[in-house]
Amino acid sequence: DTGVSQNPRHKITKRGQNVTFRCDPISEHNRLYWYRQTLGQGPEFLTYFQNEAQLEKSRLLSDRFSAERPKGSFSTLEIQRTEQGDSAMYLCASSSSGGDITDTQYFGPGTRLTVL
């Protein structure tokens, strides 16, 4: 399967704990995005990388959230001191800046986080 992959698919944690999610983009894609989706809503943009550079961050990305893409390939999203309001589906997407002028974003299956 050459699509976007995310791990874990599900994560249950207690309030106050730290969690980390991983995203592996489509191999030739240099852009990587994180979105958050709550029940009954559309995805909301969190942040985006081009190669290893983090170029855009949403106001939703509080100081408890940090994302990295150290080698321009996979990315991690860490949430520190989780709160119940962090419960959501965290989606990763990737795209290529070359060739596809519309820069189509392809989404992974998501990581569902439940904070108890």
Point out which span in 61-69, 70-78, 79-87, 91-99 binds another protein (CB under 8 A).
91-99
Q: How far apart are CA 79 and CA 62, in angstroms?
A: 9
Q: How far apart are CA 59 and CA 69, in angstroms?
A: 19
CB of 25 to another protein, least distance (A): 13
CB of 81 to another protein, least distance (A): 26
By CB under 8 A, residue 62 contacts another protein: no
Contact residue for another protein among 14, 27, 40, 98 (CB under 8 A): 40
- Return the exposure string of 23-38: e unless at least 16 CB atoms fall within 10 Å of the residue's CB, then b: bbbbeebbbbbbbbbe
